C-alpha cells in the first residue's frame, strides 16, 4: 500500500512538472527553452560529480588492496595446521627486511641453477612439499602408471591418484609427506588405509622423505599398504634407467625447488620471523598474499 502511494505521488509530481513545462511553452517559448537549458546543465553537473566520485572510490579501493598486499607483518596468532602436519607459531610476527628476503631468494635461485647430476637423500630432503609430490608422481609415471595429482589445498588424504595406462578406474592412492625432522606416526598411516577402504582401491602407498615409527610399520605389515621411506625412494630412483632418472631429476629441480609453495594459493612463500610472544625469534614461511591468505609453515618441519 505504501509503495503504491509513493508511486502515485511520483506520477503526480511528473505530471505536474510536464504541465508546468507545457504552460511555459504556451506562454513564453523563450522561457521554456531557457528552463530546459538550465535543467540540462544541472544534469550534466550531477553526472560529472557522480563520475568523479566513482573514480575516487575505485582509486581508494585499489590503494587499500595494494597496501594490504605489501604488509610485511606475519600471520595471526591462531595456530594453523601446516601441510607437513606441524603446528605453527601462535603469536603475530614481523618479517625480515626486503633486502634479506631478496638475498634468500637469490641463494635459492643460485642453488636451483647449480648442476645436479644424480639423486641423493640430501637432495630429496631439500625438496619443498610440492616438488616432493612432483617427484613421487614422476616416479610412478616412469613405472608405467598414469598419475594425477590432486588440487592444491585440502586433499582428503590423497595427493596422487594412480591409474593404469589402459584403465579409467583408480588403481592406487598415494599420500606424500616431506617430513625430515620427525617420523610419520601410525595415525596418518591408519587414515590413509581408511581412505583406501572407502575408495575401494587395490593399493595405497605412503611416501615420506624421512622414516616411520615402529607402530606405523607394524600397522602396515601384511596389508595392501606400502610405506616408502626417503632411503627406499632414493633406491627406487637409482634403479630407473639413467635417461629417465636424469630427466626426472631435471624436471623436479628446475627453478626454485626449495622454497615451499603456499598450500592455499599455490605461490612461493616468503621467509619470516616471529617478533613477539613465546615463539619470538622463530623463523617460518608465510604466504606473500597475507592478510588475504594466512597460511604459514614451520621451517623446522621442512628442513633438517
CA-CA distance, 116 to 112, in Å (whole number)? 9
Quote the crossing angle between the two packed helices 129-142 and 230-238, to the nearest 10°. Answer: 40
Instruction: Please give the pLDDT value at position 128.
Output: 93
| Side-by-side strand order, sheet with 270-273 | 94-95, 270-273, 283-286, 296-298
Cβ partners under 8 Å of residue 33, min gap 6? none
3-state secondary structure at position 294: coil
How does DSSP assign 36-79, residue by residue? HHHHHHHHHHHHHHHHHHHHHHHHHHHHHHHHHHT--B---SS-
Pick from 192, 233, 190: nearest CA to 215: 190
Cell numbers describing residue 120: 641423493
Number of C-beta neighbours around residue 253 at 10 A: 21
First to last CA, the chain: 74
Cell, residue 113: 641453477
pLDDT of residue 254: 92
DSSP assignments along 76-133, one per residue: -SS--B-TTSPBPPSS--EEPPHHHHHHHHHHHHHHHHS---S--HHHHHHS-HHHHH
With 0-12 CB in 10 A as exposed, 13-18 as middle and 19+ as buried, what is 4?
A: exposed
Q: Nine-digit cell at 24?
A: 511555459
What pLDDT score was predicted for residue 83? 41
Tens place of pLDDT per residue across the chain (304 aa): 555 555 566 677 677 767 776 776 676 666 667 766 777 777 777 877 887 888 887 777 676 666 544 433 333 433 333 343 333 333 333 333 444 444 444 444 444 444 567 999 999 999 999 999 999 999 999 999 999 988 655 556 789 999 998 878 899 999 999 998 889 999 999 999 999 999 999 999 999 999 999 999 999 999 999 999 999 999 999 999 999 999 999 999 999 999 989 988 889 999 888 777 777 778 888 898 888 888 888 775 444 3
pLDDT attached to residue 151: 67
CA distance 277 to 281: 9
What count of other Cβ atoms lies within 10 Å of the Cβ of residue 97?
10
pLDDT the model gives residue 302? 42
Amino acid at each position: 500500500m505504501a509503495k503504491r502511494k509513493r508511486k502515485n505521488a511520483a506520477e503526480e509530481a511528473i505530471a505536474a512538472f510536464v504541465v508546468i513545462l507545457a504552460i511555459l511553452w504556451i506562454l513564453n517559448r523563450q522561457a521554456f527553452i531557457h528552463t530546459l537549458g538550465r535543467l540540462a546543465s544541472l544534469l550534466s553537473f550531477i553526472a560529472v560529480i557522480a563520475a568523479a566520485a566513482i573514480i575516487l572510490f575505485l582509486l581508494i579501493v585499489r590503494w587499500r588492496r595494494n597496501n594490504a598486499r605489501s604488509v610485511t607483518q606475519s600471520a595471526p596468532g591462531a595456530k594453523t595446521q601446516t601441510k607437513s602436519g606441524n603446528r605453527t607459531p601462535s603469536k603475530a610476527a614481523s618479517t625480515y627486511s626486503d633486502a634479506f628476503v631478496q638475498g634468500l631468494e637469490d641463494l635459492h635461485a643460485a642453488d636451483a641453477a647449480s648442476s645436479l647430476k644424480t639423486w641423493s637423500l640430501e637432495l630429496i630432503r631439500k625438496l619443498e612439499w610440492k616438488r616432493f609430490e612432483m617427484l613421487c608422481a614422476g616416479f610412478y609415471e616412469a613405472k608405467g602408471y598414469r598419475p594425477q595429482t590432486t588440487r592444491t589445498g585440502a586433499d582428503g588424504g590423497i595427493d596422487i591418484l594412480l591409474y593404469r595406462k589402459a584403465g579409467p578406474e583408480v588403481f592406487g592412492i598415494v599420500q606424500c609427506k616431506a617430513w625430515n625432522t620427525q617420523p610419520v606416526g601410525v595415525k596418518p598411516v591408519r587414515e590413509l588405509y581408511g581412505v583406501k577402504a572407502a575408495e575401494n582401491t587395490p593399493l595405497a602407498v605412503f611416501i615420506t622423505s624421512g622414516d616411520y615409527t615402529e607402530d606405523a610399520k607394524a600397522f602396515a605389515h601384511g596389508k595392501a599398504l606400502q610405506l616408502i621411506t626417503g632411503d627406499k625412494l632414493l633406491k627406487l630412483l637409482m634403479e630407473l634407467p639413467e635417461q629417465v632418472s636424469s630427466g626426472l631429476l631435471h624436471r623436479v629441480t628446475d627453478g626454485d625447488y626449495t622454497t615451499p609453495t603456499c598450500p592455499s594459493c599455490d605461490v612461493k612463500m616468503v621467509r619470516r620471523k616471529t617478533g613477539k610472544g613465546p615463539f619470538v625469534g622463530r623463523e617460518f614461511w608465510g604466504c606473500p598474499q597475507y592478510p588475504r591468505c594466512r597460511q604459514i609453515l614451520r621451517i623446522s618441519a621442512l628442513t633438517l
